[in-house]
Structure 1
Amino acid sequence: MLDRLPLILSVILIILTMIFIVAYMTLDEETETTWAYHESVEEAGWNPEQLIQARNYYESINSTALMVIHEGKVLLSWGDVTTNTNAHSVRKSFLSALYGIEWEKGTFALDDTLADYDIEEEPPLSGLELRAQLQHLLSSTSGVYLPAGEESWNMRQARPARGTRIPGSYYYYNNWDFNVLGSIYNEQTERDLFEDFHERIAVPLGMEDFSLGNTNYKYENRRSLHPSYLFRMSARDFARFGQLYLQNGEWEGEQIVPEEWIELSTQPHAEVASNNIFDYGYLWWSATAGIYEELGMFSAVGRYGQSIEVIPEYDLVFVHRVDSNHHSFSMTRDSVNDLQRLQLLQLILDAKRTE
């Protein structure tokens, strides 16, 4: 018996190590949730040793939360997934969903123009600018090059000169387009986009942390008459929105967002010359190159490292967050860039076992 003791201890050590790996990889802290969890990453078809590499990389960058939903259950949950933080430009994909609901009802047509909506701005829009259509705003190709709220320095520097492009002819990531879409939605529906998101999406999906108190309009009247519509949301509620799109807009037997709109809005509609992975859909990013195109991936992406990646081929939703609301946050020191985020995603995908 004593001769076998080293072997027995080795086996026990291996078992304890595997238990630790599974626990470490799956959940950082116990939180009450209605999300279902996989029994283990290994039983779900993922290599726990390889996921350790992904976890180490996650901790080496400035990520503050990550979730991976596979086959409708939580595979990975790292960091603080319950705190509502600034969604940044992921907000635009939320609005896309609302437009899809109203588009199916006939409230909006993609060829409606800014003139049809009597859009005002200071300075006033030109005749050429008023020809921009709803589909151009959704694909960020309006050709309206005016200051807008929530613009980054890079967006201001890249803005073309006014009147230099015909609507629909040129992609420029344009907060003027995105913010005006919020104004159009509210004016044409005679409702409030935040209230509609709460009632039509957040409540049916059972979002656990989101409330109307996590939304606000930001007015910057010296730049534009049209406010930014800002959301704060948790990682696990991001994941629900991504899962909704993975399920083609259906949730527990109810069609929340029209399936036709999801297919249309996540397809590329504008070529993004500066991006070798994504082109732009209707307020979504669509992968058009390499392995991500093969996987059918589309993404909602925001500043500093916010994202929802939907990967139909793997029945998977990947959520990445960086808490930019933290008092010590520095945009230059604490951000996660697109390459880092996609590298983390790739490490996780590489851990998927193939039979």
Structure 2
Amino acid sequence: MLRLLMLTIFIPYLSFGQQTKTTSNDNYTYPDSSWQLVTNIAKNGWNNDSLNKLRLFIIDSTNSTGVVVIQSGKILFEYGDTKETSYIASCRKSILSMLYGPFVEDGTIDLAASIEQLHIDDVGGLLPEEKKATIKNLLTARSGVYHAASNEGDASAMAPKRGSVEPGSFWLYNNWDFNVAGYILEQRTGKTIYQLIDSMFAKPLQMQDWNINEQRKTGDTTRSKYLAYHIWFSTRDMARIGYLMLRNGRWKDEQIIPADWIKKTTAVVSTRKQAVEEKTAYYHFGYGYLWWIWDEPYNKGAYQNAYSATGAYGQFITVLPKLDMVVAFKTKYDYGRQTSTDVYLKFLEKLVAARKQ
């Protein structure tokens, strides 16, 4: 038992899959059926002792059930059961942003279209001012529509009076926006979000644990007819999603998401300063198109151009371009566990600090 405990604490990474060959394209490395491991931690610029201490921090100070850190296309560090699928909470919204990309590029979706033009209405009716909101407003959480969402878990308690805000002028993290954006994508493409994930991501990325039959929508249709499109991923498949973003939408020889869309959606639309002034700020972040973006004064060093999907209870897909790194971090809520965002940010700080100077 002592030997097993020592192995758990002091081996920097353990892989749940066999080491298989990887594919390199344009000087980038991609996983095939499973991820390769970084075979020499120190040679690749990382401090072994610091990564061992990071493992102890995860055990002692978080409730994480899975962590995968990808460095230049290979696993640098992992913890927990990375193949177990569970609910990724609001990370679903960043996934939706990715799905939009090809359909904006080919003209299937016009971001300037208003919800009135799309014949969007809801329980009890929308106000004339609210119907002016565009798809872009929905994707950037600036719709000005403060109708109740079918599910909780947003900042709607801080919403201004309905009809008092011009669409596009005020940022508020609002599930109504996100759920309606999901509905519009399905209506414009003729496919469900889960079918799109299956064809656009699961197959080309060789996602190891995706199960379309596990996915389901939820919500109270007496509040709003637009349901929340909840998603179940494994940690190691979350890492594939993040790695697709890091590689600007390209996977091996296929451009799955337009690179321009990746750039557009991960740039700040609503600054952290604005959010502080509007009393809707969230930690170190500004907001783009359904992605949280490190913003002033935190977007320095390793966090330059960094962005993250985040979800309740401790779900994160973080992309750190300066380190050529992706971090997938999961906390399975079914186990009654939670990891707060401030604890996760401390985890990231310790991870970044493990890089040899």
| TM-score under structure 2 length normalisation | 0.88
Equivalent residues in 2 for 1:166-181 (5 A)? 166-181=166-181
The 10-residue stretch of structure 1 (84-93 or 181-190) with the greater mean CA deviation from structure 2: 181-190
Which aligned segments of 4 or more residues in structure 1 are displaced greater than 3 angstroms?
A: 19-23, 29-33, 290-294
Per-residue CA deviation, residues 38-91 of structure 1 (Å, 9 max, x unaligned), is: 113222210011112211111112111111000100001101110110010000
Structure 2 residue aligned with 1:197:
197
Greater per-residue helix proportion: 1
Structure 1: distance between partners of 2:91 and 2:40: 30
Residue 338 (structure 2) pairs with residue 351 (structure 1): no
Residue 330 (structure 2) pairs with residue 321 (structure 1): yes
CA pair 110-340 structure 1, distance change in 2 beyond 3 A:
same
Per-residue CA deviation, residues 152-209 of structure 1 (Å, 9 max, x unaligned), is: 2x63422332112111111110000000011111112222121011101111001000
Residue 10 (structure 2) pairs with residue 26 (structure 1): no
Structure 2 residue aligned with 1:107:
108
1:338 is displaced (CA, Å) by 1.0
Which residue identity is paired with 1:119?
I
1:250 is displaced (CA, Å) by 0.3
Structure 1 residue aligned with 2:308:
299
Is the contact made by 1:305 and 1:320 (CA closer than 8 Å) also made in structure 2? yes
Structure 2 residue aligned with 1:53:
53
Is the contact made by 2:146 and 2:162 (CA closer than 8 Å) also made in structure 1? yes
Residue 320 (structure 2) pairs with residue 311 (structure 1): yes
Structure 2: distance between partners of 1:285 and 1:91: 13
| TM-score under structure 1 length normalisation | 0.88
CA pair 193-280 structure 1, distance change in 2 beyond 3 A:
same
Structure 1 residue aligned with 2:290:
283
Equivalent residues in 2 for 1:1-355 (5 A)? 24-27=11-14, 30-32=16-18, 34-60=34-60, 61-152=62-153, 155-271=155-271, 272-273=275-276, 274-294=281-301, 295-326=304-335, 329=336, 334-354=337-357
Structure 2 residue aligned with 1:6:
none
Structure 1: distance between partners of 2:8 and 2:193: 43
Aligned alpha-carbon RMSD (Å)? 1.9
Is the contact made by 1:22 and 1:48 (CA closer than 8 Å) also made in structure 2? no
CA pair 83-220 structure 1, distance change in 2 beyond 3 A:
same
Q: Secondary structure at the match of 2:240?
A: helix
CA pair 72-99 structure 1, distance change in 2 beyond 3 A:
same
Is the contact made by 1:82 and 1:235 (CA closer than 8 Å) also made in structure 2? yes
Provide structure 2 residue ranges, at least 5 long, that are not aligned to the other structure: 19-32
Structure 2: distance between partners of 1:316 and 1:211: 26
Per-residue CA deviation, residues 235-289 of structure 1 (Å, 9 max, x unaligned), is: 0000000000000000011000000000000111123322351111001111112
Per-residue CA deviation, residues 286-340 of structure 1 (Å, 9 max, x unaligned), is: 11124544421010110111001100010000111100122xx1xxxx3211110
Q: Secondary structure at the match of 2:241?
A: helix
Is the contact made by 1:26 and 1:41 (CA closer than 8 Å) also made in structure 2? no
Is the contact made by 1:22 and 1:40 (CA closer than 8 Å) also made in structure 2? no
Is the contact made by 1:50 and 1:351 (CA closer than 8 Å) also made in structure 2? yes
Structure 2: distance between partners of 1:30 and 1:248: 27
Which residue identity is paired with 1:125?
L
Rg: which structure is higher? 1
CA pair 21-217 structure 1, distance change in 2 beyond 3 A:
closer
